[in-house]
């Protein structure tokens, strides 16, 4: 009868096993520490997006231009039309207003009942009256918005009022807050700090920029950029049209 000789691990095998297990444990610990060190980043980005969205919502709720009528509507710009465009062989009644098919910044009012001619007239730009078929038009003068920042870039920015009095999107150009702030009528300077956003910075730029075939005078590009405490910048961009 044979006796089986049972043997355990040798010393070398035991040492190799300990080394392998140790490396595996260190790898797991390293991965955990790396993940833990970055676990706050998604929250920081979410907070930045929330700030940018709050600023953008505030801006988009304002008028397009200082001269935009209450309740909405367009304003005349050098490269754009605002109002009904003149049409041929159309009957007009007194009080009706039109703009030329080729913009000239002027608006015209019918002072008699009549029908326009088949060909577009030569539009007066001196405030006088003139005939078009059987209708008589009166030049109402240059209707261009003098506050339009597409015409005068220096008008892109606040008009001297505090944040809570901003009434059109151009007013927000150049706004920079660190930490971010919200409009507050009870505050002396018109805004108050958003709690919980220390070391964040919010900046706004509003520029006249052509878009999708629409001339720059009639377009505003709004960009809100929020910089996080990590130095990462997150931007939201929107376009507003002169309508």
Same-domain check for residues 136 and 170: no
Please say if the pLDDT value at position 142 is more than 60. Answer: yes
Is the residue at 197 inside a domain?
yes
Q: What percent of the chain has pLDDT over 90?
A: 43
Listed range (1-10, 121-130, 199-208) with the worst mean pLDDT: 1-10
For residue range 207-241, list pLDDT tens digits in order.
988 888 888 888 899 999 999 999 999 999 999 98
Is the residue at 13 inside a domain?
no
Same-domain check for residues 53 and 157: yes
Same-domain check for residues 68 and 151: yes
Same-domain check for residues 107 and 150: no
User: How far is it, in rounded angstroms, from Cα 150 to Cα 218?
Assistant: 7
DSSP category for residue 166: -
Helix, strand, coil % in the chain, rounded to nearest 5? 25, 30, 45
CB atoms within 10 A of CB 217: 21
Same-domain check for residues 112 and 232: no
Terminal alpha carbon distance of the chain: 105
Same-domain check for residues 131 and 161: no
For residue range 26-36, list pLDDT tens digits in order.
777 776 665 55
User: How far is it, in rounded angstroms, from Cα 107 to Cα 46?
Assistant: 48
Same-domain check for residues 96 and 110: yes
- Which whole number is the average pLDDT over 56-71? 84
Please say if the pLDDT value at position 37 is more than 80. Answer: no
Query: Given this model, what pLDDT does residue 156 score?
Result: 67
Query: Given this model, what pLDDT does residue 173 score?
Result: 92
Is the residue at 160 inside a domain?
yes
Please say if the pLDDT value at position 136 is more than 90. Answer: yes
Query: Given this model, what pLDDT does residue 121 score?
Result: 95
Is the residue at 3 inside a domain?
no
Same-domain check for residues 138 and 165: no
Is the residue at 228 inside a domain?
yes
Please say if the pLDDT value at position 131 is more than 90. Answer: yes
The whole-chain average pLDDT of the chain stands at: 83
Same-domain check for residues 151 and 235: yes
Query: Given this model, what pLDDT does residue 31 score?
Result: 67
Range of the structural domain that residue 124 is part of: 91-142
Q: Is 242 helix (H, G, I), strand (E, B) or coil?
A: coil
Q: What is the number of structural domains in the chain?
A: 2
* End position of a domain, from candidates 116, 142, 168: 142
Is the residue at 4 inside a domain?
no
Is the residue at 85 inside a domain?
no
Query: Given this model, what pLDDT does residue 190 score?
Result: 74
Same-domain check for residues 61 and 111: no
Residue 82 or residue 222, greater confidence: 222
Same-domain check for residues 152 and 129: no
């Amino acid at each position: 009868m044979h006796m089986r000789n049972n043997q355990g691990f040798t010393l070398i095998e035991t040492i190799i096993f300990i080394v392998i297990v140790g490396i595996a444990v260190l790898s797991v610990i390293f991965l955990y520490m790396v993940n833990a060190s970055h676990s706050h980043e998604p929250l920081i980005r979410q907070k930045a997006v929330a700030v940018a969205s709050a600023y953008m919502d505030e801006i988009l709720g304002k008028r397009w231009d200082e001269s935009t009528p209450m309740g909405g509507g367009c304003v005349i710009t050098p490269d754009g039309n605002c109002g009904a465009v003149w049409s041929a062989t159309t009957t007009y009644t007194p009080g009706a207003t039109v703009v030329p098919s080729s913009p000239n910044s002027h608006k015209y009012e019918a002072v008699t009942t009549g029908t326009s001619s088949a060909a577009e007239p030569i539009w007066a730009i001196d405030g006088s009256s003139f005939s078009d078929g059987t209708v008589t038009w009166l030049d109402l003068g240059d209707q261009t918005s003098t506050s339009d920042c597409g015409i005068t870039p220096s008008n892109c920015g606040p008009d001297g009022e505090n944040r809570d009095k901003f009434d059109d999107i151009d007013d927000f150009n150049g706004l920079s807050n660190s930490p971010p702030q919200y409009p507050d009528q009870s505050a002396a300077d018109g805004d108050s700090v958003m709690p919980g956003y220390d070391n964040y910075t919010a900046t706004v730029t509003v520029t006249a920029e052509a878009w999708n075939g629409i001339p720059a005078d009639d377009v505003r590009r709004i960009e809100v950029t929020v910089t996080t405490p990590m130095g990462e910048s997150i931007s939201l961009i929107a376009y507003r049209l002169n309508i």
